[in-house]
Structure 1
Amino acid sequence: MGAAMRAHDWSGSPLGAPEAWPACLRSTVSLLLGSRFPMFVAFGPELGFLYNDAYAEILGDKHPAALGGRFHDIWAEIWPDISPLIDRALAGEPTWSDDLPLTMNRRGYDEQTWFTFSYSPVRDEQDRVAGMFCACTETTGRIQAETALRANEARLQFLDRLGRETAKSTDADEILATTTRMVAEHLSLSNCAYADMDPDEDGFTIRGDWAAEGSPSIVGHYSLATFGERAVRDLGAGRPLVINDNLAELAPAEAATFQAIGIAATICMPLVKDGRLTALMAIHDRVPRVWSDDALALITEVTERSWAHIERVRAVTKLEALNATLEQRVEERTSKLIETEAVLRQSQKLEAVGQLTGGVAHDFNNLLTIIRSSVDFLRRPELPEARKSRYLNAVSETVDRAAKLTSQLLAFARRQTLRPETLDVGARLHAVAELLDTITGARIEVLTQLPAKPCYIKADLSQFETALVNMAVNARDAMEAGGTLTLRLECGAPLPPIRGHAGAPGPFAAVSLGDTGCGIPPDLIHRVFEPFFTTKEVGKGTGLGLSQVFGFAKQSGGDVKVESVLGRGTTFTLYLPEVQPQGPVAALGGEVAETDPGGAGQRVLVVEDNVEVGRFATQILEDLGYETVWATNAEEALDRIGWDGAGFDVVFSDVVMPGMGGIELAKVLKRRLPDLPVVLASGYSHVLAQESANGFELLHKPYSADQVSRILRKVIGRNRRRAVPG
């Protein structure tokens, strides 16, 4: 366009020669010529027109004559639509139009278009509006595509609805009646009918008429000759007969026929089958209209679909009846199977819940019986000191057993708080093997098969060793007559698919315990990890040992596999992710150095929302020699601590509390007062189990006074050592 402007004869243009153009017009022209976005400028009193290459495509046949012409002359056909916008721009107000519909004539015919554009005032050196600048884009293609998409969606929805309605019947007349009614409603027709061609194909009979209220009925027999040559030619050849509202175009006989039945616009869509023509007739007698291609296509498809459905009803009635019966049987059987499966799953869930609650209730009732009886005796003032000591020991031991039972439940539920550390698996297995000699007894030989190179995992040491002991105890009980228990370690092993779960390439440390015992029946092997499921006699097992193994394996990122042959033995293999040691490896048999007993007046902030637990914890700490302050929630604790620590030596907080929890409190204090140690206490915390690597000390509930004393001395001593220079 720059070249075209240089070569253009400007003598007849209201813009005059380019040498005389003002600076504001030159800069605007330079802007639009340098852009690939459609732009034009209309300048001066007569709005002389200049545009770039991208806009030339929009002009169509108006280009190149439009160059330098008058805006009004170029777009005279849309001037009434855009002149209000032009007036606003020339008055100094920029405008924006989004998808504005415009009827343009740019290729010799009128066409509907849509544009998104802006009109901006162009000001001269005196800040007067001298013209307007436009940046625009044609959205016709998108609008038409969206319109077509919506029309197609409406068409598909209608065809789907029609198909579902007509599929309800196997009677041809009923299908056609439904079709005519639904087509009439969808296309807003006044009449809709279907017709059968006469055997000699000289005429047809319209029947099954659907007429709106006040519309004439067109049911009856008609000869093709009555409709004229067009009907004979088109319908006889299987093509649609379309007659629009201009009856003057028809032959006199045709016009008379259509006027007699009050038709303004008619379409007959034929379908020739077996030498007979059947047509769906859609008629307007109130609002004359020209049939669109979409309407023609829809009626054609409707006719073909309806009669195809009728290709099937009449020709294969018996076969369809058989298929329908077969499908019904399959559906009924499938439905029953699904229902039965759902009932079975629910039953299994209820059975598992029943086993869990029943087992927990049974075991805890036993433990509570011991505690309650012991407490009752301890209340007697005349109780001898020896018996008092015995009952106190019984209470303490029972609490330990209850805590262990709770730990096993949490392990099965994968909710126990783990303290993972890097372990040398081979060394741990060697140490556990020595312990198993004591557990299994002389009648069982314990063998170990360990690789020469070390193999490391990151796991909770206590839970790992507990899992090994639990599996070993089950192996011992399966070998009543004696046998061999083999501990084997394989490094860098892949995780195989287990119980329908996909495998993983690893590397995993595979720790297996194999026995030569009685084995597990095939119908029971899938239940061995269920809580409280056991094949042992009453009183000889809780059924929680293997569920602890399963929960520990899953929570540690691994899995456990069981293989068994009845009468020959069972092997449990524990798969745990193998790691490379990046820090200290847990030592074997390490002992914690003894510390001074009790506190020495150190200040402890106790954070506990439960009144009974809070009162008991502060009492324990004061009895141990600590000075205590009690806050009932984390927010109160932060207020008491302030920004300087308020002289507190340690914070002892519960984990689960209303509002801010203990973990979040510990994180805030770590940022605010990094030298103030925090000890967290919890009997159950799924959040803590997930975030156990935050570095905070954890005390498990129920805890003893000795445990509280030890952990407080540990963190306070560590903090003091850190504070000593050098």
Structure 2
Amino acid sequence: MPDLSTVPGSAIADVFDWAATPLGAAATWPPALRTAAGMVLHSRQAMCVMWGAELRLLFNDGYRELLGARAHDSAAMLGRPFRDVWPELAESGGAILDEALRGQATGAVEDYPFTVERNGYPERIYVTFFTSPIHDEAGAIAGLMVTCVETTARVESRNQRDDALERLRLLDRIGEATRVASDPRAIMDEATRLLGEHLRVTRVAYADLEPDNDRFTIRHDWRVAGAISTVGVYSLDLFGSRATSNLRIGRTLVIDDVDRDLAPGDGDGMFNSIGIKAIICCPLVKAGRLAAMMAVHQVAPRRWTAEELALVEAVVERCWAHIERVRSTEALREADRHKSEFLAVLAHELRNPLAPIRNGLELLRLRGGNETVARVGAMMDRQLSHMTHLINDLLDIARVSSGKIVLHREAADLGAIVATAVEAGMPALDAAGHRLTVDLPETPLPVEADAVRIAQVIGNLLTNAVKYTPPGGAIRIAAHVDEGEAVVSVADNGIGIPAESLDAVFEMFTQVARSVERSNGGLGIGLSLVRRLMALHGGTVAAASAGPGQGSTFTIRLPLAGALPRPAGPSAAQAADGAARPLRILIADDNVDAAQSLSDLLALSGHETRVAADGAAALHLAARFMPEVVFLDIGMPGMDGYETARRLRRLPGLAAVRLAALTGWGAAEDRARARAAGFDHHLLKPAIPADVSAVLAAVGG
């Protein structure tokens, strides 16, 4: 390595081709500075010498290559101040070098980042540089010797590990943010925002493919301040033929620079129109069909990394999965809503013809008749009760499933509830010739429950025992206390249940041993309703059986409550079988048979009745007849029962008239709407005579 301290200045100019440059004065440098210059010239490492207060540069080819400056005019750069050559480094790197020149800081600066231009693209690199002072004869620092080593590969390797962990954390955040979301837009909003902020891009958009598979709809886009929204419907053709065909087969579109990577007319127009120069468009193909896309936009050219592409692909997959989950759930909710609406309409339509049948049977009972009429009437009454029970169970299942059942809890004696259920089930028991044994404790079993619903539970278990026990069988109902719980069991000696079906019997529409001879055994919803009602009460139900032919036992358990309140006196409805005097009663129902049969039934009890087929006729009759009680059907054509009720109360002299809704609509919201319209009572078709009598008794003597 030559020692420039002994070489004349002219010779140095020849060697370095530095004629007519400030380096031509190199002969006047201190020997140490000239020696350092020779070392820089011949070294294969990236080295430079900076001398004087202005840090003028002398660098070799390795240093020039490191900074991506080969295309620069080297002759014009040599000997110039550092800050003039690389102004972009002056603010951050200049301070470090100034301190080294003053002798305040020398040594190594590791993994120093800065941006250079390579292959036409800005590129971020890292270097570790070592500085050491060059002293003159007086011992003062005349310059710096700087050796640089590029550490980009090492830093990127470390960064890749860190980035991989950060990507995993990002995917976890997206998953957590979207896992509990119940709205597709909320999922899109969180996923695009988190991805956009992580990648530091201009825009992230999520799109669905339309059914024609030729158009896509951007449902949502996250964007930085000032960027326009791209939400809307577009044609896939806007991407250009080559990109569109790749997207359809699931190949990600990657564009680093729109102007360089896309031919004119091959999709560049779409991106340039929104000021975008770099794009990742990741398609998602499901079942061989393009289903969704996620696009990442950048306003400036950008060289995308493989890791960034993989991240976008992972995000669109997860985003789509969560969106489809929410959409599927919403579709199920919508289907369930339609099912509930259908069941409500079905129940209404089925209850309408049951009403005149119930009234007709009561007329036959009151008028009396021969033995055959009495027997047939009793048979029809049992079948009518069975059909009404099926309709009620079907509706209750829909209400429980949609969360529309509201329990009216109060302190009640479980023994009394059992007695009520047994009384209701006696006709079916007698018809089948079963022997019933009831074993209740002498002391009350206090529970906090909806007495009507628990009676329904026990009634369904009793009905189940009746259906699945051969004629002349034995059924036993027993109640007792066990570890702070009230326990009721319904046991039979019927067909039994296989061990593998003990839990399945509580599923919807399930019947064990369904066969032709038992095809009239019901819909298979009674036990499902039992389990759901018990769950609402915080209780349980379980089935047990020794196997086929060995009978079965169903057991319900409810938490015991405190002491029961003192029994109240009999209500007006309980104390009187109908009104104490004849009443003027108006009946309005578009079902003529139902209205007329109820009128005949009430007339038989001495009441004066009038019948109207619609709301307008009811108002006309009421103004002249001045009824004391009005039974109104809700679903009348034209003016419905709600509006008719409101207008009736506005008629002179009828503000206090007793109004009873007589309808097939029995949901909680229907009852609430009836109360709001001014009804005093809500009777569900076919109304049982006792309920009608209770309405009349409420009018008073």
* TM-score bracket relative to the smaller structure: 0.3 to 0.5
Taking CA–CA contacts closer than 8 Å with sequence separation of 6 or more, which of the two structures ends up with the larger relative contact order? 2
Q: TM-score, normalised by structure 1?
A: 0.40
